[in-house]
Structure formats: C-alpha cells, structure tokens
Structure 1
C-alpha cells in the first residue's frame, strides 16, 4: 500500500510539474548544437556523488539508461563502462568528470558523454514528518569538441502523508508511522526515476529525440 501511494504521489508530482512547465515554464532550450552533431550514442559515465550517502551513485546508475534510450539514443551498458574506465585508471568518478569528453571517443566510439552530479540524496526527519530529497545536475558534452550540448537540473522531494480518517489522534499516529518507515528505508528510486524522466522528456527542455536520416533512393536508369 505504501509503495503504491508513493508511486501515485511521484506520478502526480511529475504530471503537475509537466503541466506547470507548459504554462509558466522557462523558454525552450536551443538545440542548435545537438542538431548540428546529431549524436546517436551516449556514454553515461559514473555519477559524481557530492553527498554523504555512499550508495547514491550506484542506485542512480540503475535508473538513467532507460529514459535516455527512450529518446532514441544508444546507451552504453553501465557495467561495461565502469570496467573499461577502471582499466584506463579512471576508477574514481572525480577523475572521470575532470577528463575531457574527447578522451572517451576512442575508448567507446561514443558521440557524446553524459556527466551527472548528485548534489542531494537525503532523508530529513523532523518530529513526525520525513522528507526525502534528491537533486541532479545533468551535462551532455560532445566527444568531438568537448562543448556542452545540453544541460539540466532536477530536484525532487517526497513527504509521506497519512490519510484523513476524521480522528486527529489516529491520523497523527499513522503519519508518525509512515514517517518512521520512510526514515528507516527512504525510497529514493521513484524520485530518481521521475527526475530523470523530467530531465530527458520535458518538451522544450529535455533531450531531443534522435533524428534518423534515411538515404535517398537512387533513380532507375
């Protein structure tokens, strides 16, 4: 029941944010650089974890490939990427993020590199409420020029709320229980999935879909 409520809540947040973006959101991003290079394959390197949660980067990597692939890009397998980077002496995410994007082209044959920094991954407990928060900064760089082709930032929060039963004491206890459950085992994955979906798929802000150019058929005779 808690999981289904959490999924419904994050879906509602996602829908509300998309609706708000359509009405009062920022101006559409320029995709001139992306269209000029038209990358087909994106290498997602290990996330730079700037939080105190040592597991954040490992959890994050399990959520990022699918939304990028759904935009039409080939995404290199995460475990293969990590293994090859280790072989090249780039086992530390900090070193990877300091490297020039052009360095990865001969290693993987990629067109662009996605760098992600995790700046928030926390669960804050206050009295009888718990707030789980994540924040990510996405930067896509060209393997040809090293220039930034696209960037985005997403921050998401979730606070479990007890239903209104009409009995204040029952609701207070229920809310305390839900907050304790969330504090004991914060469910970061739905928030992260929602953040990635918004970053990659929001109209005018997300990654543009891959343009497939079909060769012209030669005329007969």
Structure 2
C-alpha cells in the first residue's frame, strides 16, 4: 500500500508540473515549396498492436484534406506498394523520393511513425493512448518541409473515482477490458491524427491551397 501511495503521489506531481510550449516551427522551407498534394506512406508501427497502422490510417486522410491538400487515396497507395512487393513500411520509407514522385506525381510525402497504440493498465488507471510522429518531405527535392508529433488518451476527460482505492482498481480493470474489446484506439487515433495535422494546432500543418481559411497555425 505504501508503494502504491508513493507511485500515485509521483504521478500526480508529474501531471501537476507546468508544461512549456515548444518554440514555433520554422516554416520557411514549407512556404517556399508550397505543396498542393500529399501521398501518405504506410506508417512504421513501433507498438505490439498489429492493428495500429490500420487504425491510424483510417483517420489520417480527413485532417490533411481539411487542411486544404489533395490526399492520394491510401487504399490505392498501399495497393500500389503491395503490387510491387513492398509490404513492409520500413522498406516503403526507404524508397528514394524521386521514385515516389515519379510513381504518384505528388508534391510531398508524409512519413508517419506510431509510438503508442492501445489500452494499458497503469497503477490504478487504465487508458487507451495513441501517439505518433510525422515528417513531410518534398518529393521534388527531398527536403524536409515539416515535422510534428501528437498524442491522445481516452483518460483525458475522465472524472475522478470517488470509491476509494479498491473502486479505482476495479474501474481500471473494467475500463481496460471494455476499451480493448471495443477497439477504443480507433477513436483515440482520430483525436491524435487531428492534433498532429490540424492547421489550428501549435506547429501544425500550414493551410493548403484548398483551405477555406489561410491563417497560419497556432503559435
């Protein structure tokens, strides 16, 4: 019990620390390149969850399109790679940018790495977390135009349990079962994708040519 209390106090202390916002991103290369179309590479999955790439890819097109860019259909892109024997994301990411531009004719390629995806039991809480990193590369020059990272958790807006330690443990166990069975990661992936690629996010994507609002990302 003493160890549990110590861990809880440590977690509370970490969450209580004030977070500082990262410096504003340098968009000079992005502005100079002015991409209009983006092809999304199959994401590298650094998690044990085999469904992670599918869960994130199902949510990734919408925020890019809403940002004002033409997005190549991910199903067609994946089928193109598979038809040419490229079934591993790491191998796809290693394809020369000139070749990708030749195949798809896209201005830029979005390379994604999934860091977290799934439901886990942590002390007296159970949450589903999705986190990913992305790099936008100019497929005409090979230059990096933008990089970002974002995460989302199913426990962000969850209220505190008022039933004591035992109640918290029971709730955490039930939450883990429910969120695993219902694939809560799919919904959380949508939030993470929006945070990662929204033009309104701090250091997010710049609005594309089809964006209704050409304002810069939040600073």
TM-score range, shorter chain: 0.7 to 0.9
- Once the two structures are superposed, residues 101-145 of structure 1 have per-residue CA deviations (whole angstroms, 9 ceiling, x without a partner) of 222111111000001011211321256631222220101111011
Q: Which residue of 2 aligns with 1:87?
A: 83
Does 1:104 pair with 2:100? yes
What secondary structure does 1:197 align onto?
A: helix
- Once the two structures are superposed, residues 23-55 of structure 1 have per-residue CA deviations (whole angstroms, 9 ceiling, x without a partner) of x42222111111111100000011111211111
Q: Which residue of 2 aligns with 1:182?
A: 179
Q: Distance in 2 between matches of 1:79 and 1:122?
A: 23
Q: Which residue of 1 aligns with 2:7?
A: none
Q: Distance in 2 between matches of 1:133 and 1:185?
A: 14
Q: Which residue of 2 aligns with 1:15?
A: none
What secondary structure does 1:209 align onto?
A: coil
- Once the two structures are superposed, residues 71-117 of structure 1 have per-residue CA deviations (whole angstroms, 9 ceiling, x without a partner) of 10000001110111122332221100112222211111100000101
Runs (4+) of structure 1 moved beyond 4 Å?
160-164, 166-176
Larger radius of gyration: 1
Q: Provide the aligned C-alpha RMSD in A.
A: 2.6
Q: Distance in 2 between matches of 1:140 and 1:176?
A: 39
Does 1:69 pair with 2:68? no
Per the TM alignment, residue 175 of structure 1 is displaced from its structure 2 partner at its CA by 5.5
Q: Distance in 2 between matches of 1:48 and 1:97?
A: 8
Does 1:58 pair with 2:69? no
Q: Do the aligned partners of residues 56 and 38 (structure 1) sit closer, same or farther apart at CA in structure 2, a change above 3 Å counting?
A: same
Q: Which residue of 1 aligns with 2:116?
A: 120
Q: Do the aligned partners of residues 58 and 144 (structure 1) sit closer, same or farther apart at CA in structure 2, a change above 3 Å counting?
A: same
Q: Which runs of 5 or more residues in structure 2 are unaligned? A: 1-17, 211-219
Q: Which residue of 2 aligns with 1:131?
A: 127
Per the TM alignment, residue 159 of structure 1 is displaced from its structure 2 partner at its CA by 3.2
Aligned positions, number? 190
Q: Distance in 1 between matches of 2:47 and 2:172?
A: 28
What secondary structure does 1:65 align onto?
A: helix
Q: Which residue of 1 aligns with 2:150?
A: 154
TM-score, structure 2 length as denominator?
0.76
The answer to whether the 8 Å contact 1:45/1:113 transfers is: yes
Per the TM alignment, residue 179 of structure 1 is displaced from its structure 2 partner at its CA by 4.0
Q: Which runs of 5 or more residues in structure 1 are unaligned? A: 1-19, 213-221
